[in-house]
Amino acid sequence: MPSHISYAGQLATKLQDFRARGQKEASKNRPPPNAAVPDQHESELRSEGEGWLSTEQRLFDATLTEVSRGSTEARQKAIELRTTFEQLVRDDTAISTVEAELAGERPRLVKATVGRLKAETDIRYFKATNNIHEEAVYPESKLWHFGVMAIIAVAEVVVNAFFYENNQGLLGGVMVAIGIAAINIGLAVGLGLGFRFKNLASTDKKVVGWACFAGFVLVAVLCNSLFASFRSEYQVVIDPSEFSQVKEAFQRAWPEALLIFRGEPRFQDHWSFILFVVGIGLSACAFYKGYTLDDKHPGYGPKDRLYKAAVESEQLEQDKLRQKVKELLHHRKAAVQAALHEPATQVGMLARRIADLTHARQSLESQAAAVQRDFQLVTEAYRHANASVRALPSPAYFAEPPLLSTKVDGSGAECVIAELSTVQDELKVLGDQHREALNAKLKALQDDTTSVLTTTVSAYVAEVRKDAEDQISRLTHTIHRVQAA
């Protein structure tokens, strides 16, 4: 569709050009004195002026058509609003919709509640049978805990590498240090884990726990005494890469290492004694890290984590349900609130359309007057310039005022504005008639929201728990005693 440009004084810009044309035509005594109609120059200017008037009329007609279409749409909107208001006021399905949503979510919530009840029963039984009254204590991050143990192991490797340095330098000591650290730290961590059994109620478990502690003391003293004695023997090994020589060094170190249990430790030098002390310290740290790797009651930590995960899962499902219920009721309240404000919105839109059409009509009239004025100005300038030069009398039509024949018409705006005003009044009346009922409906929905979230959902959660308990009861096998006849 071609676009039309509004008039912006284009005719007035031809003033000097037409003065020059008038003088040029006068030098040739044109137009002749007996001419009855304007010459081609005035006809050209008239044609252009008529074109600009037609353009302004088309611009106004386009605005009029658009606003008229908006008037029809507004009337249709008023009819739709009336139907919408009546539907919203009569709609009483909010509670039934919530109940349907609750029914659809029941299986998932029952499943989560069953999982939580089973985990709760399991952990309660474990606490009761082991006489546990405190909460489980365990590291939040197993990775961090193992990281600390890795640091202890690396520290022992580094320390032992210097102590076992031989004629091959630190590299020869590192290989031995890695093996010693693996044995020392690994056994200490494992025995620390086993020492936790002393906290359980069962006598045999306590025996196992204290046996692990005794084993740790024995192993820590024996191993570190052996490693200290082996250090002295390892220093004199000619070829540490030869396994038989290293084995013989261990065999020679064993008798000296066992002497520590007779209270007669024999360390060849003070470096061996320092190695023994450092090894005992690192073993104790590793034993403690193993003891605190999980809760001090073996099995309590996993059960507590499982129970907390079940509680979190159940709470998450309940929160999702509450959020869905809130969204359902919120959408209904939002629809009522939108309906309350819709008449005012439509009235404002119609007011803008009326203003646009009024402005278009005023613009049509002012632009038409400007075209007529500029056409008359340029035409008179052309005639005056011609008359001032020519020697013959001017044509008779020079005395007639130059006027454009095309007329613009903005009267079509009146009926459209009247129609828009009528629709505005209808919308205002419609909004006033239903405002009280819609406000009452909005208050009822707010009350329903409060009631559902406090009473209905709480009762629903209680019913879910009852269903979960019934499901557990159905899955529990019961032995029925058969009475003798």
**Of 229 and 470, more confident:** 470
The answer to whether residue 177 scores a pLDDT higher than 70 is no
Higher pLDDT, 108 or 171: 108
Q: Looking at residue 138, what is its pLDDT? A: 78
Q: What is the mean pLDDT of the chain?
A: 83
The token duo for 471 is 């499901």
Helix (H/G/I), strand (E/B), else coil: 257: helix
Q: Looking at the predicted structure, is the pLDDT value of residue 283 above 90?
A: no
| 149 has pLDDT over 80 | no
Where residue 394 falls (left for φ over 0; alpha for ψ -120 to 50; beta otherwise) is beta
Query: What pLDDT is attached to residue 1?
Result: 43
**Residues 16-57: pLDDT tens digits?**
999 999 999 999 889 998 988 999 999 999 999 999 999 999
The mean-pLDDT minimum among 36-40, 58-62, 289-293, 478-482 falls in 478-482
3 state DSSP class of 167:
coil
Per DSSP, 166 falls in state B
Q: Which residue has the higher pLDDT, 155 or 113?
A: 113
Q: What is the pLDDT of residue 250?
A: 61
Cα of 63 vs its chain's centroid, Å: 44
Q: What is the pLDDT of residues 215-259, one digit of tens each?
A: 888 888 777 777 766 666 665 555 565 656 566 666 666 566 666
Nearest to 78, CA basis, from 432, 436, 426, 437: 426
| Interval 377-397 mean pLDDT | 91
Whole-angstrom Cα distance, residue 181 to residue 163?
13
pTM value > 0.85: no
% of the chain exceeding 90 in pLDDT: 28
Pairwise pLDDT comparison (118 vs 280), residue with the higher score: 118
Lowest mean pLDDT among 10-19, 26-35, 141-150, 330-339: 141-150
